[in-house]
Amino acid sequence: MSDEQEAARWLPAGDDPPERGLTEPLGNVVWAFLCFVVAGLVAAPIIALTDRQFTIYGFGHRGVCADVAQNGLDIRSSGSTVANVRAGASSFADSLQLCANHPTLGQRFLVTLTQLPTLILYLAVLVLLWLLVLTVRRHGPFTMSVSRRLRFLAWFILGGTLAVSGGESAARAAFAGTEVAGFGASFTDSANTVLSNAFNGVLANLFPLLLVVCGLLTLARVVRRGTQMRDDLAGTV
């Protein structure tokens, strides 16, 4: 049996609908996560309005806290506190967490920007995965549309991760500037701190990020090749 004949055994013939089980368990897992996220987005604001102890993404009835990078902060060698913390703020050097006991609206928005972009990225990836699952269910695995969705997903994950890492690092640095006297006093120092923190954030997850992106791009090429082989076989029958 030739390679093309062997490959044809695993390609959907004609317009026959693909098996639903072909997209499992990914389909069920993605759908469950989407339902969970949507339920959380609906319930969280309601809880925040009724529970005075509840805070979500910087908004609520309590103070706000943000995890910040150690880079650029003056850490005291004794006492485990961040030096030069402004009045009304508190710090926990073991986790590098800065808290504003009586936050301004601007500080609340900065805390939101240190947390919410990651959720938006995850939600967007889930939506793209669900669209990929639907495409496979409707048209089969070996179509150009599946290959295009895989390539787009790969580049979206790469670009989105870099953008979220840089944006959240900038927000953390800006929030630290409102809490620590002398931090980010000049634009050059602030820019260098933000760039350094963003680079470190990406570098920390670089290996799994590259594996995921390269894996999706490779899978897209495999699907594209499988589509071409199916079309060639269909033309010879």
Domain boundaries, the chain: 23-236
pLDDT tens-digit map of 43-87: 777 776 776 666 766 666 667 777 776 555 555 444 445 555 555
Residue 14 has pLDDT above 50, yes or no: no
By the 8 A CB rule, do 202 and 161 touch?
yes
The pLDDT score that the predictor gives to residue 204 is 72
The pLDDT score that the predictor gives to residue 148 is 93
In a 3-state reduction of DSSP, which class is residue 145?
A: helix
Tell me the CA end-to-end span of the chain in Å, nearest whole number.
Answer: 16
Range of weakest confidence among 56-60, 83-87, 110-114, 199-203: 83-87
Residue 96 has pLDDT above 90, yes or no: no
Cβ-Cβ contacts under 8 Å for 33 (sequence gap 6 or more)? 126
pLDDT tens-digit map of 116-139: 898 899 999 999 999 999 998 888
15 alpha carbon, distance to own chain's centre = 36
